[in-house]
Chain A
């Protein structure tokens, strides 16, 4: 039995902005977000799942404050998600910014007996602000909705590390904590945020470029809490696995917090990713597609059979 957090499934949509601007009414945009999340939840749900209801938590950085700060809007989002996939989010975490998934995991590990959780990182900009396309410290920003299905171990102690608040950006503390974390867990690779060269060069120097997943900042920009999970999905799409391995996932919120987790991957981890244009018609088309995720083993068997 695994004694670490296991990534069982992950689905990522890279969403090309602007998001749902054809009819930019808040209620309609929230409905689109809800249907996107619900479609991802349906896709990562284990086939024929009959057990206890799976817990779902939403985590966001760049989502509108109207969605997490105005009760009627937040309720609307939860209602849409529940009606579309029969799973109602427990809560939406916004205050922790990009590190939200770490705090969500810490909650489930310490304060529930949950063995299966879904975390959905929802970062689209319904206001379509030019300000949200670029960050002075990070560089280019990107948008994403990514949903994870994670298996939690019986032993709950010290499975996720959260830290903060730190002065400055917390990036230095994050990288030093990652080095310490890696000394302990000996990961195959570490997946960290996609940042521009100013910050990423620090991580490359201290952790070693060869020990890090590919930095996709030039292509996608920083996609908030989704980055390390995008890195994992793409790496698994390139890399057949013969056995279970462990990787480090880390995230830093530049307001001064970080999260680190030792995550297990296996040939049975189910993955999927798409680039979706943010127009409503394109989003609805992606929502409507039956997106059965492939296991890493299936993906590479398929590749072998076509080459």
Chain B
């Protein structure tokens, strides 16, 4: 993997020519909605019998990262990101987002047929690429919410498609929400099946 930029301020030169995919990764350490009150979605599970408590113990895993958003906020934040990316980069044909079980009602921007919410986006992206689809925006995220899924509040955005690399870099460098990320890096992604190289 060739490192292009590594900076918390993505103010660097243009991407190398011929690149087929580019990847931005970082971590959210603060809520994008600091100072805004919101309805907590922390729900008590309706557990009744002893074995139910025992079974739900599967979710009791230690987390290094705090919960910084409700699921509704996370989904809204992802929806805004998808909408902004599509406006800035018209060649996006498909967005695949890592998303586990249902928590809140999904926003419209995540329910279109040009978006797929899947347990793991990489194989889905690779499947579409195998049929010569291009212009795929892959969002791997494990943003913790009030629900019970594990997560590290990290975000890995991969834009697949040679023609979309430069517009994506411009988008990433100028999008205010992405500048919030810590440990920010922008790298070339392996061509094709980026998910395999982890």
Residues of A within 8 A of B (CB): 21, 24, 26, 55, 61, 63-66, 68-71, 74, 88, 90-97, 103, 106-107, 110-114, 126-131, 162, 164-165, 253, 255-257
Contact = CB atoms under 8 A, between A and B. Distances in A.
B192 to A, nearest CB: 15
30 contacts: A21-B51, A61-B102, A65-B147, A68-B119, A69-B149, A70-B61, A70-B150, A71-B120, A90-B118, A91-B120, A91-B121, A91-B123, A92-B120, A93-B117, A93-B119, A94-B99, A95-B101, A95-B106, A103-B116, A103-B117, A107-B116, A111-B131, A127-B56, A128-B51, A129-B45, A129-B48, A164-B111, A165-B111, A253-B102, A257-B106
Nearest to A60: B101
B128 interface: yes
B93 A92 contact: no
Given A93-B117, A93-B119, A112 B133 contact: yes
B149 A70 contact: yes
A165 B49 CA distance: 34
Nearest to A125: B55
Nearest to A127: B55
B100 interface: yes
A292 to B, nearest CB: 29
Nearest to A165: B105
A93 B101 contact: no
Interface of B: 45-49, 51-52, 54-56, 58-59, 61, 93-94, 99-102, 105-108, 111, 113-114, 116-121, 123-124, 127-128, 130-131, 133, 147-150
Contacts of A95: 99-102, 106, 117
A113 B106 contact: no
A103 to B, nearest CB: 7
A90 B127 contact: yes
Contacts of B107: 165
Nearest to A163: B111
Contacts of B114: 110
A90 B124 contact: yes
Contact of B108 (A91, A97, A165): A165
Given A107-B124, A112-B133, A113-B131, A94 B102 contact: yes
A55 B127 contact: yes
Contacts of B55: 24, 26, 126-128
Nearest to B110: A95
Nearest to B47: A129
Nearest to A77: B119
B100 A65 contact: yes
Contacts of A113: 131
A120 B48 CA distance: 30
A141 to B, nearest CB: 13
B116 A92 contact: no
The 10 tightest CB contacts between A and B, nearest first, are A69-B100, A69-B149, A91-B118, A92-B119, A65-B101, A127-B55, A131-B46, A95-B117, A106-B113, A113-B131
Contacts of B61: 70
A165 B102 contact: no
Contacts of A127: 52, 55-56
B48 A131 contact: yes
Contacts of A71: 120, 150
A66 B111 contact: no
Given A71-B120, A111-B133, A97 B49 contact: no
A106 B123 CA distance: 17
A69 B102 CA distance: 10
Contacts of A164: 106, 108, 111
Given A65-B148, A95-B101, A130-B52, A112 B119 contact: no
Contact of B148 (A69, A74, A103): A69
Contacts of A257: 106, 111
Contacts of A103: 113, 116-117
B58 A66 contact: yes
